[in-house]
Amino acid sequence: MRSDRAKKGIERAPHRSLFHAMGYTDEEIARPIIGVVNSKNEIIPGHIHLDAIVNAVKAGIRMAGGTPMEFPAIGVCDGIAMGHEGMKYSLVTRELIADSIECVATAHAFDALVMIPNCDKIVPGMLMAAGRLDLPTIFVSGGPMLAGKYAGKRISLTDMFEAVGAVGAGTMTKKELEEMEVCACPTCGSCSGMFTANSMNCVTEVLGMALPGNSTIPAVYAARIALAKKAGMAIMHLFEKGITARKIMTEEAFHNALAADMALGCSTNTILHLPAIAHETGIPFDLRTINEISERTPNLCRLAPAGNHFVEDLDAAGGISAVLAELAKNKIINTKLLTVTGKKIADNIKGAVNRDPEVLRPIDTPYSKNGGIAVLYGNLAPNGCVVKRSAVAPEMMKHSGPVRVFDCEEDTFAAIQKGGIKAGDVVVIRYEGPRGGPGMREMLSVTAALAGRGLDKQVALLTDGRFSGATRGASIGHCSPEAAMGGPIALVQDGDRVTIDINAYSITLDVTEAELKKRKAAWQAPAAKITKGYLARYAKMVSSADKGAILT
């Protein structure tokens, strides 16, 4: 056992004395030691209840003959951090989470790990750690929130952000907003639509790193506790069989994850996190692969914000197993790959049934023949930019319009609230990338303000920052190279025209090459916005978005 490094032999008597200081018995010390990474805190709705999940995991580990030892991981709630300086500190926690897990797991020679995340950057940070450490590892998340209800309609966090725009436009009263805010998020759990948290939990299950049902069983269901116990038992099986993370997270597994991503219409943040996870796992990742997979993968689900269904509905329809079963009918996924069940995908989805073809479209009657995400290229984004195609209105799939340029999120939001953005505009928000932000903020407040004013079907957005999974509309993020690195987005001027053709994977700044060269010669890099602390260090080390915003 790996843990013998810290507990076996005469020379480890001092080490064992420290275990005894915590009340561990000789029997517990002799067993495999399983690190249980608990990201529970009292600031994230998806994490407030994770102690219950942790206790169930520990029970499963003990039932199967292991000794669980819990340690923490940090987390940021993207919704609470949204729209102010706090959002600069969201993406950057991904690396802190991966690094801290590496430190604790290696320092204490754990034999295996159970990762217990739920939201936003915590899931990919833990997946990065799993790929880096290559230990037997299993994930069990806290599960999704149930949808809220207001005025006879099911709602989610997206509706709250859009309601702010509606109040600004005069189509909703402040009293109605106050009534709505106590209804939108009725339970603990990751926000109820196919936003980043649930997208990444779905990706984790498809990668093979979580048990069937992990992505969709609601947080408040008893089945979530039972699943956690099974995960605790399953980690002991993985340990005994020597099945480590890299034996599961193979290149083909990433292709499966991308195919499911396209079928589900996941958050564009998956296209930021999957390259980073692949990097830690030693697997090459080319953004152009995304469009290739998207071209052959139909979009089967349109959960909020793209539609009126929620993750709880996908669970009732059969969950990710039913999604994979639909994709397997056309051989879009490889079902021969190993998972944390110790079995192959084909075994896991045997008997899976699509119980609601309204929520999960059958493979022969999809919402669209191509996938939910597209990577656009052109002279404005030579290294690519990303859009959630399934959440774009048909009339915005092709668009050409005059540019309104803003150098930060706050100025953009203020202009929208004052009615300064008009139908047909292309809004460019720059210097919000990984380095320029720093931290590559999500800008749900901006997109929701537009939607609240009814402009989501008339205005396109482009940024070197990123958009929340709760975003709908022609919101195009991750523009690479970013403005702070002198990318073409830094050269755009008010009044220029941008032409977008999403299904042709194209985005073009309608300015001559000669004019762009002239502007580039005159461009000067802006001064760093933050000069001390973690963000300053992050800005110096972070790569571009097309590389996953990894630290180099």
> Which sequence positions are flagged as catalytic?
468
Reduced DSSP (H G I as helix, E B as strand, rest coil) percent helix, strand, coil of the chain, to 5: 45, 15, 40
- Amino acid found at 125: G
Measured distance CA(344)–CA(16) in Å, rounded:
39
Sign of CA dihedral 506, 509, 512, 513: negative
CA Rg value for the chain: 23
Measured distance CA(254)–CA(252) in Å, rounded:
5
Please state whether beta strands 112-116 and 148-150 pair in parallel, antiparallel, or not at all (unpaired).
unpaired
Confirm if 428 and 463 have CB atoms less than 8 A apart.
yes
Which strand (E) or helix (H) includes residue 463? strand 460-463
Sign of CA dihedral 280, 281, 286, 287: negative
Confirm if 192 and 310 have CB atoms less than 8 A apart.
yes
The DSSP letter of residue 458 is T
| Max CA separation in the chain (angstroms) | 76
Q: How far is CA 245 from the centre of its chain?
A: 19
Measured distance CA(399)–CA(461) in Å, rounded:
11
Which strand (E) or helix (H) includes residue 429? strand 426-429
User: SS3 sequence, 320-343?
Assistant: HHHHHHHHHHCCCCCCCCECCCCC
Using DSSP, state whether 403 is helix, strand or coil: strand
Exposure of 28 by Cβ count < 10 A (0-12 exposed, 13-18 middle, 19+ buried)?
middle
Q: Residue 351 has which token pair?
A: 């008997």
Measured distance CA(534)–CA(316) in Å, rounded:
43
Please state whether beta strands 497-501 and 398-406 pair in parallel, antiparallel, or not at all (unpaired).
antiparallel
Cis peptide before 481 (omega within 30 of 0): yes
**Exposure letters 43-60 (e unless 16+ CB within 10 A, then b):** ebbbbbbbebbbbbbbbb
User: SS3 sequence, 1-48?
Assistant: CHHHHHCCCHHHHHHHHHHHHCCCCHHHHHCCEEEEEECCCCCCCCCC
Q: Find the helix packing angle between 196-207 and 251-264, rounded to 10°.
A: 140
Q: How far is CA 341 from CA 208, 211, 332, 502, in A?
A: 8, 6, 21, 38
Angle at 232 between CA 226 and CA 237, to 5 degrees: 125
